């Protein structure tokens, strides 16, 4: 076992951990296996990221079959960054799940949660690392199928219906993606992403390629919950177990954004996407509508999980807004926000899981006076909320700052003003929590004073601390995002 | 470029649209899954049909043959079929659980039950 096989082990270890947890059938060893697998993936991702930063992209040939015939795993500046986010979030979530899942699931089903969690992680990591378009579809389905199960584990019966809706929409999305890949395969005869990009340059009849682009756009947009295709997201996030919501909110949609970035810039190229088709303009309009409408809907929610689920739809709008600018600054903003929003939402949903455990539900009427009953949890939610708004000193500020810079650089002053103005809507919905938690008197529905268990509070606060840390020290996130943006634009020209 | 020479594509498109229409138009959760299955099946055809060359043989190199069919789409679709089976199985399992919880598999009745129960939140 050497470092040479690290790209394969990154995915294979969680994939093997999944059946192991089924065989053992006991929750404590299953938890230990999942924790070990997640930490291994995280360490491996960090090593890969360091290797990529030092020596450039890594190409790993599965089974020693050279691409384009064999499947290639490709780690570059962008995929390494996303790998670190996904495996890092999993490593934070598993210790949290120990208490959280034990409280939410029947005892004899707990080990199955870890099975599905490992499978979901393997799927998401595989989507990120693979350099093969069809392999990506297979990993997408591994990740999606396990996330449908994870969502259906929620205690509320509505979790099952939410999971069913997500299953139907997610499958339509994945099938659209695979139709797009099929058309591209017919046009070029290859499935390797790098090879695909090269051969597409020489395709004479562009119409099928454009059809493929359209299918892939719609399919992946369903998965990343781009505005009119986001309908599965609020219910799924609201009714899923807390640990699942936190993990999926921080990773699943982000990996889909990665796939869209990869196809737009690395495969189709900027010319095809922005000159032949007006994709940036379409993305711009959808992002603006997403930000405004989802933020406004979030304002009127009475349940905190649902409120922040709608806020996720809006925040994805900011990510795609950066993408639509198709400039270096825009893509940097987009990739930084992908990471920063991941840790911010992860922190929020982990803390809300603590509220759900102590108060039974996460309705706004349950958190009156929570600032006194659960001071640490409330403070964490406020700090993560500030990061969501983009207050200076938090991670959210960094990404909004770059987004504003990118808008000004593109000469779109109105867009910069728009980003700042819509942040005010975020102030309003975060304020609703502050008002309930700090300015209202506790009533009979407020939980008794006392924090969530330490096993849940620590991982959540780790992410809250990360929100603040990455707000001050931007050298890692912004540097990685800048390299990723360079890579994407370099491939696109 | 006659209609007949693109026969397999017409069938593919027909199945694709019919499947998607069932998913959207039907309120019964099992029927929706049937539509989803038809939709996925159309993609199998999209991949497999172009892989076959008329007069082509299995891709085993021999001096006796000159034209070979492309085996790759078949292998890809084998994987896609497995994914489709898993999706359908999971979907049906969810429908069973939904029926146990709501006593119905009609979309409008489930939504109505949620709205009625939603006030106690």
For residue range A189-215, what is the model confidence (pLDDT) as tens digits? 899 999 999 999 888 888 899 999 999
What's the total number of domains in chain A?
A: 2
Residues A315, A445 within the same domain = yes
A309 and A376 share one domain: yes
Tens of pLDDT, residue by residue over A143-171, are 999 999 999 998 888 999 999 999 999 99
**Are both A370 and A463 inside the same structural domain?**
yes
Nearby residues of A37 by Cβ (< 8 Å), 6 or more positions away: A13, A14, A16, A17, A118, A121
Task: Indicate the residue of B43, B80, B101 with minimum beta-carbon distance to A157.
Answer: B101
Cβ-Cβ contacts under 8 Å, B79 against chain A: 134, 138
Backbone angles phi, psi at A58, to 5 degrees: -105, 135
Whether A396 shows a pLDDT value over 50: the answer reads: yes
Q: Which of A160, A186, A363 sits opposite B94 (nearest CB)?
A: A160
CATH number where B39 lies: 1.10.287.3510
Give pLDDT, residue B121: 40
Residues A82, A215 share a domain: yes
In a shared domain, residues A319 and A265 = no
Q: With beta carbons less than 8 A apart as the criterion, state whether A429 and A295 touch.
A: yes
Question: In this complex, is the C-beta atom of B73 within 8 Å of any C-beta atom belonging to chain A?
Answer: yes
> Closest-CA residue in chain B for A172?
B36
Contact B94 A148 (CB under 8 A): yes
Tell me which chain A residue has its CA closest to the CA of residue B82: A138
* Residue A391, both tokens: 């207050």
- The reply to whether residue A137 touches residue B80, judged by beta carbons under 8 angstroms, is yes
Among residues 322-361 of chain A, which lie with CB inside 8 Å of chain B?
361
Query: pLDDT tens for residues A236-281?
Result: 999 999 999 999 999 999 999 999 999 999 999 888 888 888 999 9
Structural domain total, chain B: 1
Are B91 and A138 in contact (CB < 8 Å)? no
Q: For the residues A367-384, what does the mean pLDDT come to?
A: 92
Give B47 to chain A, closest Cα distance, Å. Answer: 6
Write down which residue in A271, A303, A338 finishes a domain.
A271
Nearest alpha carbon to residue A150 among A187, A199, A101: A101
- Contact predicate A482/A332, CB 8 Å: yes
ipTM of this model? 0.93
Q: What is the pLDDT of residues A438-471, one digit of tens each?
A: 998 888 888 888 888 888 999 999 999 999 999 9
Give the chain B residue whose CA is nearest to the CA of A178. B43
Considering the domain architecture, whether residues A375 and A233 belong to the same structural domain is answered as no
Question: Average pLDDT of A39-63?
Answer: 92
Buried b (16+ CB within 10 A) or exposed e, B46-58: bbbeebeeeeeee
- Cβ of B43 within 8 Å of Cβ of A178? The answer is yes
CB contact under 8 A, B95 and A164: yes
Residue of A nearest to B37 (CA): A171
Distance, CA of A8 to chain centre: 22
Pair A226, A86 in one domain: yes
Q: Looking at the complex, report in whole angstroms how far the Cα of residue A68 sits from the nearest Cα belonging to chain B.
A: 13
What mean pLDDT comes out for the span B62-75? 86
Residue of B nearest to A184 (CA): B47
Give residue A1's pLDDT band: very low, low, confident or very high (50, 70, 90): very low
Same domain, A348 and A254: no
| Sequence-distant contacts of A368-371: CB under 8 A, at least 24 apart | A368/A436, A368/A437, A368/A440, A368/A441, A368/A442, A368/A443, A368/A445, A368/A446, A369/A437, A369/A440, A369/A441, A369/A442, A369/A443, A369/A446, A370/A436, A370/A437, A370/A442, A370/A446, A370/A447, A371/A437, A371/A438
A459-479: b (≥16 Cβ within 10 Å) or e: bbbbbbebbbebbeebeebbe
Q: Which of residues 7-26 of B touch A (CB under 8 A)?
A: 16, 20, 23
Q: Helices then strands (H, E): number in chain A?
A: 20, 2
Q: Do A167 and B90 touch (CB under 8 A)?
A: yes
Inter-chain residue contact A168 with B121, CB threshold 8 Å: no
Q: How many CB pairs under 8 A join A and B?
A: 74
**pLDDT-derived band of residue B118, with 50, 70 and 90 as boundaries?**
low
Domain that holds residue B29: 4-118
Residues 6+ apart with CB under 8 A from A278: none
What's the length of chain A? Answer: 493
Q: Same domain, yes or no, for A214 and A137?
A: yes
Please answer whether residues A252 and A147 qualify as being in contact, where contact means their C-beta atoms are separated by less than 8 angstroms: yes
pLDDT tens per residue, range A308-346: 999 999 999 999 999 999 889 999 999 999 999 999 999
Residues of B in contact with A141 (CB under 8 A): 83, 86-87
Among A175, A188, A216, which would you mutate to test the B interface (most chain B Cβ atoms within 10 Å of its Cβ)?
A175
> Residue A316 in contact with residue A290, Cβ under 8 Å?
yes
Spatial separation of the C-alpha atoms in residues A368 and A439, rounded to whole Å: 8
Which chain A residues contact residue B29 at CB under 8 A?
164
Under an 8 A CB cutoff, do B36 and A185 touch?
Answer: no
Interface test with B, best of A146, A157, A306, A361 (most B CBs within 10 A): A157
pLDDT tens digits for range B11-64? 999 999 999 999 999 999 999 999 999 999 999 999 988 887 778 888 888 888
- Are the Cβ atoms of A167 and B101 closer than 8 angstroms? no
Is 60 exceeded by the pLDDT of residue B120? no
Query: Where do we find the tokens 């490992």?
Result: A118
Confidence grade of residue A69 (pLDDT, cut at 50, 70, 90)? confident
- Nearest chain B Cα distance for residue A343, angstroms: 29
Same domain, A15 and A70: yes
Final residue of a domain: which of A223, A253, A271?
Answer: A271
Query: Which residue segment(s) compose the domain that A82 sits in?
Result: 1-271
A 259-278 residues with CB < 8 A to B: none
Chain B residues touching A138 at Cβ < 8 A: 79, 83
Alpha helices, DSSP H, located in A225-327:
232-239, 242-261, 269-270, 279-299, 304-324
Residues A221 and A342 in one domain: no
Partner B, chain A 163-192, Cβ-Cβ below 8 Å: 163-164, 167-168, 171-172, 174-175, 178-179, 182-183, 185-186, 191
Q: Do A152 and B97 touch (CB under 8 A)?
A: yes
Same domain, A222 and A305: no
Q: What phi, psi does A449 have (nearest 5°)? A: -55, 140
The whole-angstrom separation of Cα A196 and Cα A231 is 32
What's the pLDDT at A179?
Answer: 96
Please give the radius of gyration of chain A, using alpha carbons only, rounded to the nearest integer.
21
Q: For A181, name the nearest residue in chain B, comparing CA atoms only.
A: B47
For B101, the closest chain A residue by CA position comes to A157
Q: Flag if A157 and B16 touch (Cβ within 8 Å).
A: no
């Amino acid at each position: 076992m050497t470092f040479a096989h690290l790209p394969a082990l990154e995915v294979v270890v969680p994939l093997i951990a999944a059946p192991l947890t089924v065989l053992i059938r006991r929750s404590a060893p299953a938890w230990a296996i999942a924790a070990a697998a997640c930490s291994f993936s995280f360490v491996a991702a960090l090593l890969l990221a360091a290797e990529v930063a030092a020596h450039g992209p890594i190409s790993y040939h599965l089974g020693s079959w050279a691409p384009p015939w064999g499947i290639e795993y490709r780690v570059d500046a962008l995929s390494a960054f996303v790998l670190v986010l996904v495996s890092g979030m999993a490593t934070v979530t598993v210790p949290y799940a120990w208490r959280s899942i034990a409280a939410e699931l029947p005892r004899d089903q707990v080990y199955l949660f870890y099975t599905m969690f490992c499978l979901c992680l393997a799927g998401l990591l595989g989507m990120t690392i693979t350099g093969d378009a069809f392999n990506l579809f297979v990993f997408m389905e591994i990740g999606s199928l396990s996330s449908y199960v994870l969502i259906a584990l929620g205690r509320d019966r509505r979790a099952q219906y939410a999971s069913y809706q997500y299953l139907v929409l997610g499958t339509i999305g994945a099938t659209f993606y695979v139709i797009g890949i099929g058309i591209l395969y017919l046009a070029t005869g290859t499935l390797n992403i790098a090879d695909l990009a090269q051969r597409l340059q020489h395709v004479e009849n562009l119409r099928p390629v454009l059809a493929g682009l359209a299918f892939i756009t719609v399919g992946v947009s369903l998965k990343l919950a781009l505005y009119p295709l986001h309908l599965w997201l609020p219910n799924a996030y609201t009714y899923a177990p807390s640990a699942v919501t936190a993990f999926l909110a921080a990773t699943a949609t982000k990996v889909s954004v990665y796939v869209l970035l990869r196809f737009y810039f690395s495969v189709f190229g900027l010319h095809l996407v922005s000159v032949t088709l007006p994709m940036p303009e379409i993305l711009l309009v959808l992002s603006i509508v997403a930000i405004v409408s989802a933020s406004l809907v979030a304002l009127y929610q009475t349940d905190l999980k649902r409120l922040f689920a709608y806020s996720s739809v809006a925040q994805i709008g900011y990510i795609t807004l950066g993408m639509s600018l198709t400039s270096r600054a825009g893509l940097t903003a987009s990739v930084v926000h992908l990471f920063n929003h991941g840790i911010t939402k992860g922190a929020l949903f982990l803390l809300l899981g603590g509220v759900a455990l102590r108060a039974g539900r996460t309705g706004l009427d349950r958190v009156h006076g929570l600032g006194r009953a659960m001071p640490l949890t409330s403070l964490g939610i406020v700090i993560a909320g500030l990061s969501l708004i983009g207050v200076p000193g938090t991670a959210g500020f960094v990404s909004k700052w770059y987004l504003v810079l990118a808008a000004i650089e593109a000469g779109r002053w109105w867009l910069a003003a728009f980003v700042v103005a819509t942040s005010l809507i975020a102030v309003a919905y975060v304020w609703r929590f502050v008002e309930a938690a700090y300015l209202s008197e506790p009533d009979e529905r407020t939980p008794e004073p006392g924090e969530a268990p330490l096993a849940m509070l620590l991982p959540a606060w780790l992410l809250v601390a990360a929100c603040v840390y990455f707000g001050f020290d931007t050298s890692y996130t912004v540097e990685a995002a800048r390299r990723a943006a360079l890579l994407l634009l370099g491939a696109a020209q | 470029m006659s209609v007949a020479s693109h026969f397999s594509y017409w069938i593919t498109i027909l199945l694709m649209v019919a499947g998607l229409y069932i998913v959207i138009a039907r309120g019964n959760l099992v029927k929706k899954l049937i539509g989803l299955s038809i939709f996925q099946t159309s993609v199998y055809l999209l991949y497999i049909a172009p892989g076959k060359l008329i007069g082509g043989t299995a891709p085993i190199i021999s001096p006796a043959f000159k034209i070979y069919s492309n085996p790759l789409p078949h292998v890809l679709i084998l994987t896609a079929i497995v994914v489709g089976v898993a999706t359908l199985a999971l979907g049906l399992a969810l429908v069973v659980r939904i029926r146990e919880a709501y006593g119905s598999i009609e979309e409008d009745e489930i939504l109505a039950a949620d709205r009625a129960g939603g006030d106690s939140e």
